[in-house]
Chain A
Amino acid sequence: MLPNLFFGYFAIVMVVLSLLIITRRNPVHSVLWMLVLFFHIAGLYLFLNAEFLAAVQVILYAGAILVLFLFVIMMLNLKEEITAERFIGEWPIGVALGISIIMLVYFALSKFIQGPVGQYTIEAINKETHTKTIGRVLYTEYLFPFEIASLILLIAIVGAIVLAKKRG
């Protein structure tokens, strides 16, 4: 009963926060609501026994990506933004599309059958901490994708500098 109530709180708050993010007029308000949303997602990760990912969520998303967004908002003309039209003229079509995707997922979910479970039970993970277990899987089974991820980050650094520097 208590876990269900806990999940219900998180679910309702997260849906409301997502709606606030896409409807607020002022982008700064959107970013701040998104900060609250990311903390709730981190809480949900803790609830699912993924404490390393909860920490990464707070550090990377709330700490790095949202600060990037706030830096860019400083360049925008907020006075004009507050009076400008928020949505495109055809917004009911977008909402109808969203509702149809929800229906699709609902029907797909009723046919869902859970597959066989793996070897990483909560007891096995707790025996040698979550971070150590995830690190071992990451650096053995997924070593090559890990290297590719480093390449993606390198491309992001170079690309951001090339795109944003003054043309000279």
Chain B
Amino acid sequence: MVPLDWYIGLSAVIFVIGVVGFIIRRNILIMLMSVELMLNSVNISLVAFSHYLQDLRGQIFVFFIITVAAAEAAIGLAILVALFKNKAAVHTDEITEMKG
């Protein structure tokens, strides 16, 4: 039997890769994909916990996370389309309307 720690470690590594990708990439599309990566890594750890604790709640949560991820991808990509129509820019350092 594979130890539960290994799953949590794998999930943490993929989550961190998602975080780093979100921070260092300039392209908004890749940043959205990094968010999906983070959500998936959390799903892995939830399913692993659900299996090892013999409780189905983790898998129910994964179900809801997948729902929210689908909604998030749809809204995020719609924002990207609107942004591209108005400014023709997909790089974060070119978008400075809000003077942040």
- Is residue A129 contacting chain B, with contact meaning CB distance below 8 A? no
- Is residue B95 contacting chain A, with contact meaning CB distance below 8 A? no
Please state if B73 and A68 are interface contacts (CB–CB under 8 Å).
yes
Please state if B26 and A72 are interface contacts (CB–CB under 8 Å).
no
User: Given known contacts A112-B8, A160-B78, is B47 in contact with A48 (CB within 8 Å)?
Assistant: yes
Nearest Cβ in chain A — how far from B95, in angstroms?
13
Nearest Cβ in chain B — how far from A72, in angstroms?
5
Q: Quick one: which of A76, A94, A98 contacts B90, CB cutoff 8 A? A: A76
Q: Give the secondary structure class of B's interface.
A: helix
Please state if A155 and B71 are interface contacts (CB–CB under 8 Å).
yes
A57 to B64 CA separation, bound complex (whole angstroms):
12
The residue in chain B whose Cβ has the minimal distance to the Cβ of A110 is B5
What chain B residues lie within 8 Å of A141 (beta carbons)?
60
Nearest Cβ in chain A — how far from B75, in angstroms?
5
Chain B interface residue bracket vs A? 35 or more
Nearest Cβ in chain B — how far from A3, in angstroms?
5
A21 to B35 CA separation, bound complex (whole angstroms):
12
What chain B residues lie within 8 Å of A77 (beta carbons)?
88
What chain B residues lie within 8 Å of A52 (beta carbons)?
59
User: Given known contacts A50-B50, A95-B24, A153-B67, is B19 in contact with A101 (CB within 8 Å)?
Assistant: yes
**Chain A residues within 8 Å of chain B by Cβ, number:** 86
Nearest Cβ in chain B — how far from A128, in angstroms?
12
Residues of B whose CB lies within 8 Å of any CB of A are 1-2, 4-6, 8-10, 12-21, 23-27, 29-30, 32-34, 36-37, 40, 43-44, 47-48, 50-57, 59-60, 62-64, 66-75, 77-82, 84, 88, 90-93
Residues of A whose CB lies within 8 Å of any CB of B are 3-4, 7, 10-11, 14-15, 18-19, 21-22, 27, 30-31, 34, 37-38, 41, 44-45, 48-50, 52-53, 56-57, 60-61, 64-65, 68-69, 71-73, 75-77, 81, 84-88, 90-91, 93-95, 97-99, 101-102, 105-106, 109, 112, 114-122, 133-134, 137-138, 141-142, 145, 149, 152-153, 155-157, 159-161, 163-164
